[in-house]
Amino acid sequence: MANLFSLILVLATLFTGIIWALDRFIWAPKRQLKIDAAAASAGGQVDAKTLEAVAPQPSWVESTSSMFPVIAIIMVFRSFIYEPFQIPSGSMMPTLLVGDFILVEKFAYGLRDPVFRHKMVETGEPERGDIVVFKYPPQPSVDYIKRVVGMPGDTVRYSYNKQICIVPQGGTACKPILMTHMQDSDFVQGRTRLVQFTEQLGAVQHNILVHPLEPNQTLKYQYHSSSDMAEWVVPEGQYFVMGDNRDNSADSRYWGFVPEANLVGKAVGIWISFEFERSANSVLPSWIPTGVRFSRIGGIN
């Protein structure tokens, strides 16, 4: 759907731009010649407004030409600078909540054409801890949002006690990702209150949620039977991503790695946040917000 909208936006920009150019450089000069000829014939006895009626600008040309700069600005901003996204699920709680509307920095990982997504200019690469929006590898028409955990060449290990350990490319020692400041959270999964930890990924400190039950009751992937630990080696040009809601996130543990070509941009801020909580007997449709969480507006980690 996002690619279809991008294609429509590009085509609309091209169409309105062509009409604008034709009118400015071909049609308008021809109309002006007719007006000048009529003015010469009238010997200066006719006012300018009346002369314009001799060769008026068609209304559809006027409307289309005036739309061109607006559509062009929207296309450039959305394709190369920032694009808004909505958080549809709780996989990134507590960092991002359902109802958060975020801004994604499109130029963070390279400038790409808006339709075929070929990289035109290199501007940077993801860093460990970045929150990235990307095309879901099994279904590229769908956008996903997760946090970068494993970099190209890393060996990522995830143990039964929900501890991440990373062997960087070229290294031999596995460095645990520290989980500190354990506390009960306000979030519930089923009937169980989730536990919140603070985690340090690279230079980024953020909060994560874990289910307090044993992993065989909450995790869906298969551990290596000999070590109770799952292990992945991240290929070159790809990334290992996870949700901050660790036991309620479909991420690289389940469907694999994110190719660099699938990256859309870096999530940098929340521009508005709606809440949708309502009583069971509410007559309002579920998509209508019940309030605005102004305290959530701002940058994200």
Catalytic residues: 91, 146
Smallest CA-to-CA distance from 132 within 260, 297, 234, 23 is with 260
The DSSP call for residue 261 is G
Amino acid found at 7: L
**Tokens at residue 81, please?**
């600078």
Residue 183 burial (C-beta neighbours within 10 Å; 0-12, 13-18, 19+): exposed
Q: Which amino acid is at 174?
A: C
Given a contact cutoff of 8 angstroms between Cβ atoms, the answer to whether 261 and 110 are in contact is: no
User: What do you get for the CA distance between the two ends of the chain, in Å?
Assistant: 28
- Distance separating alpha carbons of residues 205 and 200, to the nearest angstrom: 4
Distance of CA 150 to the CA centre of its chain: 20
Distance CA 85, CA 162 (A): 29
What is d(CA 115, CA 249) in angstroms, rounded to the nearest whole number? 29
